[in-house]
Amino acid sequence: MIRLSIATGLLLLFTCAPTFAADFTLEKAHTQADFVVKHMFVSEVHGQITLATGSATIAENGLPSAINATFDLTTFGTGNGTRDADLRDHYLPPAITFVEKSVKGNPKAFTITGNLTIHGVTKTVNIATTLDTTAVVQGKKHYAYSGTTTIDRRDYGIAFGPLLDNSLITGDEVKIHFETDAQEN
The CA dihedral of 63, 68, 74, 78, to the nearest 10 degrees, is 20
Read off the pTM: 0.84
pLDDT digits (tens, 9 = 90+) for 116-164: 999 999 999 999 999 999 999 999 999 999 999 999 999 998 876 555 5
- C-alpha torsion sign, points 46, 159, 127, 84: positive
109 located within any domain? yes
Of all helices (H) and strands (E), which one includes residue 143? strand 140-152
53 located within any domain? yes
6 located within any domain? no
d(CA 124, CA 146): 19
114 located within any domain? yes
Please determine, for residue 72, whether its predicted confidence score (pLDDT) is greater than 70: yes
**Count of domains observed in the chain:** 1
41 located within any domain? yes
d(CA 170, CA 78): 13
16 located within any domain? no
91 located within any domain? yes
Contact 54, 67 (CB under 8 A): yes
Specify which residues 71 forms β-bridges with: 51, 96
User: In which band, very low, low, confident or very high, does the pLDDT at 168 lie, cut at 50, 70 and 90?
Assistant: low
The domain that contains 80 carries what CATH number?
2.40.128.110
More confident residue, 15 or 47: 47
pLDDT of residue 179: 97
Task: State the greatest distance between any 2 C-alpha atoms of the chain, in Å, as a whole number.
Answer: 82
Supply the range of the domain harboring residue 173.
Answer: 21-184
121 located within any domain? yes
DSSP assignment of 5-74, as one string? HHHHHHHHHHHHPPPPEEEEEE-GGG-EEEEEEEETTTEEEEEEEEEEEEEEEEETTS-EEEEEEEEEEE
pLDDT of residue 167: 52
